[in-house]
Amino acid sequence: MRKAHPRARLAGMAIREGLLAEFDHEMAATMRLLTCIPEGTLAWRPHDRSRTMAALAAHITEITGWSEPILDRPRFDLSEAAAAIVTEPATLAEVLHAFAESSRAARMRLERSDGELNAMWSLLQGGQEVFSLPRAAAFRTFVLAHVVHHRGQLSVYLRLNDIAVPPIYGPTADKHTRI
């Protein structure tokens, strides 16, 4: 019996199932990268205007927390949001624990029906709509793609410190045995 093409299986898959698969893949790759940060490099930054390695890792964790306003609220007004103070983790253990907890909470929020994930979500500024997207699209853009963007920055930070970069979407220039 011939196996169905992977995209054919996705075509009939619920939105939630697709998002969960994508989320699990990206968070696992992100955790692999975070575990490569040596304790002694948390304060390192490539430039004065750049974040430290710890601050970048904390921001990646913060982004997964954006699942709450996207998936639990119909809209989010940037002007009403209190300026979040993200503290830099002092140890790699803090980085990994915070990311694991934030990712776990975000994944639980994805337990929605297709109707809920297709519901429109709006980003506002001072009560004025900036744009509206279905929740699933907003989650992909502001959580998944944003984590991937900053994960790319972190991989450059690691490379600039001569730290092996683990496989993310395939082999890297470094020797790693598994993806």
5-18 pLDDT, tens digit per residue, is: 454 444 556 899 99
CATH of the domain at 92: 1.20.120.450
Into how many domains does the chain fold?
1
Q: For residue 165, tell me if it sits in a domain.
A: no
158-172 pLDDT, tens digit per residue, is: 999 999 999 999 888
Taking the C-alpha atoms of residue 57 and residue 97, their distance in angstroms, rounded to an integer, is 11
Residue 3 has pLDDT above 60, yes or no: no
Q: For residue 68, tell me if it sits in a domain.
A: yes
8 Å CB contact between 99 and 105: no
pLDDT at 170: 87
Sole residue written with tokens 């790699």:
92
Q: Residue 150 class from Cβ within 10 Å (0-12 exposed, 13-18 middle, 19+ buried)?
A: middle
Range of the domain at 145: 14-160
In this prediction, residue 80 has a pLDDT band, given cuts at 50, 70 and 90, of confident
Taking the C-alpha atoms of residue 86 and residue 91, their distance in angstroms, rounded to an integer, is 15
Distance of CA 85 to CAs 17, 60, 62, 102, Å? Answer: 33, 14, 10, 16
pLDDT at 171: 87
Helix (H), strand (E) at residue 159: helix 146-160
Taking the C-alpha atoms of residue 55 and residue 86, their distance in angstroms, rounded to an integer, is 8
Q: For residue 50, tell me if it sits in a domain.
A: yes
